[in-house]
Amino acid sequence: MTTIIWVAVAIVAIGLYLSWTAGRLDRLHARIDAARAALDAQLLRRASVAQELATAGVLDPAASIVLYESAHAARQAEPEQREVAESELSQALRVVFAEPGAVAEVAQAPGGSAAITELTQSVRRVPMARRFHNDAVRAARAVRRHRVVRWFRLAGHAPFPLAFEMDDEPPVPLTADGAGSHPAG
């Protein structure tokens, strides 16, 4: 009789552990979805601000074309090309704002200070959003690698989470060190 009780206790304990692990994995997947939505919003905001800046007439024509085309490509990219397009936008921003005086020049134009402030905020938020997303992916992958999760198929039909890898290095004049050189507007 005591053997049956111990077997029942073991089965209940295993069931509770499996249920807890499945719930944890579900919460991690929900966290990935929320972090991906936040990342998408920040990437869209950055591309939109870059497009607005490119069409505002405050940049020279060549810089406007480079920035506009990169921002447009980032907004229109298919999911499998998104990382490359966003990296190219980061590179275009660094090229356009490579000169230390470029930010100050744009800031002096009508509405330029507000545009620079908004662009500075958006280029700072993209790496943070990407880091949150990739941290959530890393945590879910760690749980999904456990044998118990694989053996009992606790992940269900959820796709294996993928990190978002891109070049998100902001232009130096728009970083915390260089952004203080223009009025905050």
Nearest by Cα to 127 from 95, 171, 158, 160:
171
pLDDT in tens, 164-185: 999 999 998 888 554 444 443 3
**Contact of 155 with 149, CB cutoff 8 Å:** yes
pLDDT in tens, 49-91: 999 999 988 888 999 999 999 999 999 999 999 999 999 999 9
pLDDT at 177: 53
Question: Between helices 2-55 and 82-96, what is the axis angle to 10°?
Answer: 40
pLDDT at 25: 94
| pTM recorded for the entire structure | 0.88
Is the pLDDT at 109 greater than 80? The verdict is yes
Residues in CB range of 46: below 8 A, 6 or more apart: 74, 89, 119, 122, 123, 125, 126
Phi-psi region of 110 (alpha: psi -120 to 50; beta: other; left: phi over 0): beta
- Structural domain tally of the chain? 1
Where does residue 18 rank: exposed (0-12), middle (13-18), buried (19+ CB within 10 A)?
middle
pLDDT at 94: 96
Domain around 138: 2-181
97 phi, psi to nearest 5 deg: -105, 30
What is the mean pLDDT of the segment spanning 124-142?
Answer: 97
pLDDT in tens, 24-46: 999 999 999 999 999 999 999 99
What is the mean pLDDT of the segment spanning 6-19?
Answer: 95
**Contact of 29 with 134, CB cutoff 8 Å:** no
pLDDT at 111: 83
Residues in CB range of 141: below 8 A, 6 or more apart: 160, 161
Q: What is the DSSP letter of 181?
A: G
